[in-house]
C-alpha cells in the first residue's frame, strides 16, 4: 500500500526501513502527477513486497522537497540506506516506471 508521508514520517522511514524506498514527490494541482498516481499505485501492487512506496506532497512538505532538490514534479526518487540512488522526472508509462524501479531494487 502506498503511504502518504509528511517530513517527520519520512525521516522515520529512512531510519527504520530496510527495503529500498520509492518516493513520488507530487502535488494535487499537477496534471502529470495525477496521471502518474494510478500507474505508481499499480506498480506498487506488483513490487510492494520488495520496496516501500510513499508519496510526498511538495506543497505540504516544502522543506523536504528543497532538501532533495525537487524543482519539477512528478519526481520519483529511490532511496537505499537513506541515500538517493536514482530519480525519474515526469510522467512515465507503467512498463517504464516498473523497469526504472526494478533496476534499482
Active site residue 5: no
Q: Where are the beta strands (DSSP E) in the chain?
A: 3-4, 21-26, 52-57, 75-80, 83-89
pLDDT of residue 11: 95
Each residue's pLDDT tens digit in the chain (105 positions)?
Answer: 999 999 999 999 999 999 999 999 999 999 999 999 999 999 999 999 999 999 999 999 999 999 999 999 999 999 999 999 999 999 999 999 999 999 999
Q: Is residue 33 annotated as part of the catalytic site, yes or no?
A: yes
CATH of 3-102, one of 3.40.30.10, 3.40.50.1370, 3.40.50.300, 3.10.180.10: 3.40.30.10
Give the model's pLDDT for residue 84: 97
Q: Which of 33, 58, 64, 76 is catalytic?
A: 33
Residue (of 20, 19, 22, 18) closest to 5 by Cα position? 22
Amino acid at each position: 500500500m502506498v503511504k502518504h508521508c509528511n517530513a517527520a514520517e519520512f525521516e522515520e522511514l529512512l531510519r527504520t526501513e530496510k527495503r529500498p524506498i520509492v518516493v513520488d514527490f507530487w502535488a494535487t494541482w499537477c496534471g502529470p502527477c495525477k496521471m502518474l498516481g494510478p500507474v505508481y499505485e499499480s506498480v506498487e501492487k506488483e513490487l510492494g513486497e520488495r520496496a516501500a512506496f510513499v508519496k510526498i506532497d511538495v506543497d505540504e512538505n516544502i522543506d523536504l522537497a528543497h532538501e532533495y532538490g525537487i524543482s519539477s514534479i512528478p519526481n520519483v526518487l529511490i532511496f537505499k540506506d537513506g541515500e538517493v540512488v536514482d530519480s525519474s522526472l515526469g510522467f512515465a508509462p507503467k512498463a517504464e516506471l516498473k523497469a526504472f524501479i526494478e533496476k534499482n531494487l
